[in-house]
Structure 1
């Protein structure tokens, strides 16, 4: 069965965006340094980014993140999940209602209106189908936003948590965890690069 991996970048003070994030301001005010590692020339950053894309059998996101991505200044052929890789995974969006239209029609979108657990189940089916087609084990990747990842961890829907800690203090913005239940994680891997500290935890 495909594993569920939550993978997200966060500031030193626990924010995944700066203040006022939304379409046209995806990372929020002052949030651009969060993703400096994604565009880094550091071989460690490049390896981690390539590995994350390669393992993605399906990707889950929330509606707010979808609206940022699908906005006119959002993803393009040059900028986006897997934009520089061969092939792109199916995307599953958790939403109360599907959008009337989608700009990024070249990607495989599924809109699930019955909750996060159902969205992950749909994504798992997609990831397992991709695994069979490619002959390698692929994962379900939760890419955000912060509320979706936090909710999935709290609900016990995540097998592993990958955090990319950016060396920036934002002071405000979208927090990753809010009033989550106490739990202890098992640290599996730490990779330090020139632009970030990449942490992988198993969730018991």
Structure 2
């Protein structure tokens, strides 16, 4: 079964970027600390990242995040999806208009201009095809940014919420849950490592 998994790193005070994020400063000031775990040598961190990348049949992201990862200081061979783990899922971008050009042409990009629910539908179909091709169940991963994940949660599109809780207080930035609708969650796992606490919740409908 294809699940919709929201997977995002967050600070102790609930921010998914530091202050002043932008294409040249994707995670904002101090925001790099949120993703220390993704580049850690801790075997538990590596295992969580490897599993998340392996289960990704398709990935949904918002336009602001796309502009960061496809920008001149964005993803490369070391910092691409999965931070070095093998994984080349289809990427589905929610946007009001497609970009004029794409730097990362070796990745499979689809641009959806009709809203997040349609983007999730497209990603679900891509993940189902990938599941059929690989012979194992693959999921749709919502990797962000924060507004995209929050909107998906509030729209009832998410089955599983994965938070990588970084031991940092940013004080400001992009909040994950600002103005969010209430949700009832069931905790499925907690994995503490040297760089983060990894939390997995099922979302009750």
Shorter-chain TM-score: which interval? over 0.9
Which ranges of 4 or more aligned residues in structure 1 deviate by more than 4 Å?
Answer: none
Aligned to 1:47: 47
Q: How does 1:72-91 map to 2 (within 5 A)?
A: 72-82=72-82, 84-91=84-91
Deviation (angstroms), 1:83: 5.6
Count of matched residue positions in the alignment of Structure 1 and Structure 2: 204
Q: Structure 1-normalised TM-score?
A: 0.98
Deviation (angstroms), 1:76: 1.0
2: distance between equivalents of 1:87 and 1:192? Answer: 24
Aligned to 1:166: 166
Aligned to 2:30: 30
1:156 partnered with 2:156: yes
Partners of 2:10 and 2:164 within 8 A in 1: yes
Q: Structure 2-normalised TM-score?
A: 0.97
Gaps of 5+ in 2: none
- Secondary structure of the 1:48 match is helix
User: Kindly tell me: are residues 164 and 83 of structure 1, through their superposed partners in 2, closer, same or farther at Cα, counting changes over 3 Å?
Assistant: closer
Q: How does 1:19-168 map to 2 (within 5 A)?
A: 19-82=19-82, 84-168=84-168
Partners of 2:57 and 2:140 within 8 A in 1: yes
2: distance between equivalents of 1:61 and 1:127? Answer: 15
Gaps of 5+ in 1: none
- Secondary structure of the 1:182 match is coil
1: distance between equivalents of 2:87 and 2:180? Answer: 36
